[in-house]
Amino acid sequence: MSRRLFSTLSRLQHENPLGLPRSGAPPQIPRMQRGLPQKRNIKDVRKVIAVSSAKGGVGKSTIAVNLALSFARRGLRSGILDTDIFGPSIPTLLNLSGEPRLSSNNQLIPLSNYGIKSMSMGYLVDEKAAVVWRGLMVMKALQQLLHEVEWGGLDILVLDLPPGTGDTQLTITQQVNLDGAVIVSTPQDIALKDAVKGITMFNKVNVPLLGMVQNMSIFTCPHCNKSTHIFGSEGVTRECANHNIEFLGDIPLHPRICDDADRGIPTVVAEPGSERAETFMAIADKIRVKLGL
């Protein structure tokens, strides 16, 4: 972990983990700066996109990592930044672990696998430690993940956003110049309601919506070959039409996608010739063209 991040977090975490005043000592909380922070570019990165799903568990990280890998397969210098402080998935999905090294100017050096660079809170702290973090610690950690990583020249960086439309998502959209956002949803009404919240948030902060991806839309039984729309079929296309957003593609519910993710070899790498991998590639191509890459 970066020395600065280490020292700030340890101070906040160990001296006063819940921010309660101690007798005789004021809480060790850094002063907040007044006003909104300035939006900044991420250094040495040409295009930055966010993959978001206001609802949890709909496959956002799976899609984000497969998109980053698809960009790399097209010859782009690609990376992924896992901004989920409380439940980072990227270390598992890329089968990576260990502490990142520091560059000579004290920046975190990304960990790489399958031809993409990655950074995640999961490399820096034990997941159990972050669970008790207060808002300020989360914001501080996030700021460092966003602006203290030495990407060393990327064509595209995919930000894997945590679920929701709260503080973390707003901080990211307010602190980073995003070139666009991709919304992931299942076709289920309860997921779509949250997806619409995500659309509203990105519209409010003037981040262009690159499109929506429908995940887990169809399941084909390997025994009888019958296809079923477990969560419905048209939900995402309907919301795309309602909000004038491009429908980017449909990923099926398939046990191989889940198994490959769990063993740290995402679909695009594990079964590159499969229809599923081709779908990820086709979605990445649409995004690439929209971004002019």
Ligand X SMILES: Nc1ncnc2c1ncn2[C@@H]1O[C@H](COP(=O)(O)OP(=O)(O)OP(=O)(O)O)[C@@H](O)[C@H]1O
137 neighbors 178 (Cβ within 8 angstroms): no
6 neighbors 125 (Cβ within 8 angstroms): no
257 binds ligand X (CB under 6 A): yes
Closer residue to ligand X in complex, CB, 107/118? 118
Cα separation, 14 vs 88, in Å, equals 22
288 binds ligand X (CB under 6 A): no
Residues 148-177: x/- map of binding to ligand X (CB under 6 A)?
---------------x--------------
Sequence length of the chain is: 293
Under DSSP, is residue 182 helix (H, G, I), strand (E, B) or coil? strand
Pick from 16, 43, 74, 87 the residue near ligand X by CB under 6 A: 87
269 binds ligand X (CB under 6 A): no
Instruction: Check residue 270 and report its DSSP letter.
Output: H
Cα separation, 234 vs 244, in Å, equals 15
Closer residue to ligand X in complex, CB, 16/92? 92
Under DSSP, is residue 209 helix (H, G, I), strand (E, B) or coil? strand
Closer residue to ligand X in complex, CB, 76/90? 90
Q: Residue 57 Cβ, how far from ligand X at the closest point, in Å?
A: 5
Cα separation, 54 vs 183, in Å, equals 8
Closer residue to ligand X in complex, CB, 146/293? 146
| Backbone dihedral angles phi then psi of residue 63, each to the nearest 5 degrees | -75, -40
Pick from 170, 205, 230, 258 the residue near ligand X by CB under 6 A: 258
Residues 66-85: x/- map of binding to ligand X (CB under 6 A)?
------------------x-
Q: Residue 215 Cβ, how far from ligand X at the closest point, in Å?
A: 5
Number of chain residues interacting with ligand X (CB under 6 A): 20
Under DSSP, is residue 212 helix (H, G, I), strand (E, B) or coil? strand
Pick from 90, 251, 281, 284 the residue near ligand X by CB under 6 A: 251
89 binds ligand X (CB under 6 A): yes
123 neighbors 98 (Cβ within 8 angstroms): yes
47 neighbors 293 (Cβ within 8 angstroms): yes
Closer residue to ligand X in complex, CB, 77/254? 254
Residues 204-233 that bind ligand X (CB under 6 A): 215-216
Residues 34-63 that bind ligand X (CB under 6 A): 53, 56-62
State the CB neighbour count (10 A cutoff) for residue 271.
16
68 neighbors 238 (Cβ within 8 angstroms): no
Give the footprint of ligand X on this chain (CB under 6 A).
Answer: 53, 56-62, 84, 87, 89, 163, 215-216, 251, 253-254, 257-258, 261
